[in-house]
Amino acid sequence: MAKATGKASVVIFSPHIHSFNSIEKVMWDVVIALIPAGIASVYFFGTNALRIIIISVLTAVITELFMNLLTKSRITIMDGSAVITGLLFAYNLPPAVPWYLVVAGSSFAIAIVKWAFGGLGYNFMNPAIGGRIFVLAAWTTFMVGNWSPTIRGFLNSGLDFGNASLKIVSPDVISTASPLNSLKAGGWNMVHSFNFDNYWNLFIGNIPGCIGETSKLALLVGFVYLLIKKVVTPIIPLIYIATVALLAWIFGGLPLGSGIFTGNPLYHILSGGLILGACFMATDYVTSPIGLKGKIVFAVSLGVLTMIIRLWGGYPEGVSYAIAFMNIFVPLIDRYVKERIYGHGNKKLQKMAG
């Protein structure tokens, strides 16, 4: 039908779906869902994690305000989008990164990935992913080779929380060992030597890694909240994770000298940033497909790319690059993988319409 506006007619297609959601409500729901992972990051990595989160969020909000003023647009720092970007970018950082890396990456995510293309709704890539890829290229050593143990062991040895936090970022305890690094570099022998095959630790987050990705328990708690609030659907995360699991089982043993169907899918699911990426970044409204078929193609492609990078690429992790690459193809997916038009081909509806 056509709606008169005084200047022109605006075509409004049916059926119409009414919702009480707003951009602000959805964004702040996502912020709430990310809080458990932030609490877990402080629990396992101490004041280092809190420092990174505060710097990243403040930088994102200040950069958002600067871009609002620069572009003479309405002030959007209260809609929650910049806070989400700051949180997600922080969660993708190791606990020992310097403050200037956090500032550079968070500001890049907002100013370049988001606002250089027009602001919220116009970015072609998830801003936090873009920020992470930027700092990964600029400061590769900090992002790939500086992994800290968690503070739990130092607390058990008698250190207080503050000293334990300082201890895990000291050069004498930082190593290149993380679950995925160990598997790629030394196979299951190295994994076992670092006790990374303790699946309970992998699940709760008591392992080296980026501060917001290690606790799968905390991430899943937040994701369930989003499902309950109907902010996201489980389609992309479930298909993405299932694709990774299937390919890990079929091909995961090949780089280690084993045959097909000898891989360990559970290890690949619980290691690295798969859960964080699948549940909180691949589901971004702006950079994921609209239709069901498109979401399926998108999620399967994410799983394939992630495992190609993990098994045969130069990096042990592939989630960020997979999401960034597929974000670029979302417009093409939406154009060529279309849903059936409502009522098209349904003879009963056509007859009712006359």
Tens-digit pLDDT string for the chain (354 aa) = 444 444 454 555 555 555 567 889 999 999 999 999 999 999 999 999 999 999 999 999 999 999 999 999 999 999 999 999 999 999 999 999 999 999 999 999 999 999 999 998 899 999 999 999 999 999 999 999 889 999 999 999 899 999 999 999 999 999 988 999 999 999 999 999 999 999 999 999 999 999 999 999 999 999 999 999 999 999 999 999 999 999 999 999 999 989 999 999 999 999 999 999 999 999 999 999 999 999 999 999 999 999 999 999 988 999 999 999 999 999 999 999 987 665 555 556 556 555
pLDDT in the model for residue 61? 98
pLDDT in the model for residue 84? 97
pLDDT in the model for residue 342? 57
Q: What is the pLDDT of residues 125-151, one digit of tens each?
A: 999 999 999 999 999 999 998 899 999
Write out the two tokens for 200.
Answer: 């309970």
pLDDT in the model for residue 73? 93
pLDDT in the model for residue 176? 84
For 328, what's the count of Cα atoms within 13 Å in the CB-facing half-sphere?
7
Taking the alpha carbons of 70, 130, 136, 52 in that order, is the dihedral positive or negative?
positive
pLDDT in the model for residue 18? 55
254: amino acid identity, one letter: L
- State how far Cα 170 lies from the chain centre: 28
pLDDT in the model for residue 2? 45
Cis peptide before 15 (omega within 30 of 0): yes
Sequence-distant (≥ 6) Cβ neighbours of residue 262 within 8 angstroms: 252, 253
Residue 266, φ and ψ in degrees, nearest 5: -65, -40
pLDDT in the model for residue 290? 92
Which uninterrupted H or E stretch holds 3? strand 2-4
pLDDT in the model for residue 344? 55
**Three-point CA angle 33, 130, 35, nearest 5°:** 15
Taking the alpha carbons of 274, 275, 277, 283 in that order, is the dihedral positive or negative?
positive
What SS3 state is found at 19?
A: coil
Taking the C-alpha atoms of residue 95 and residue 101, their distance in angstroms, rounded to an integer, is 12
Burial of 340 (0-12, 13-18, 19+ CB in 10 A): exposed
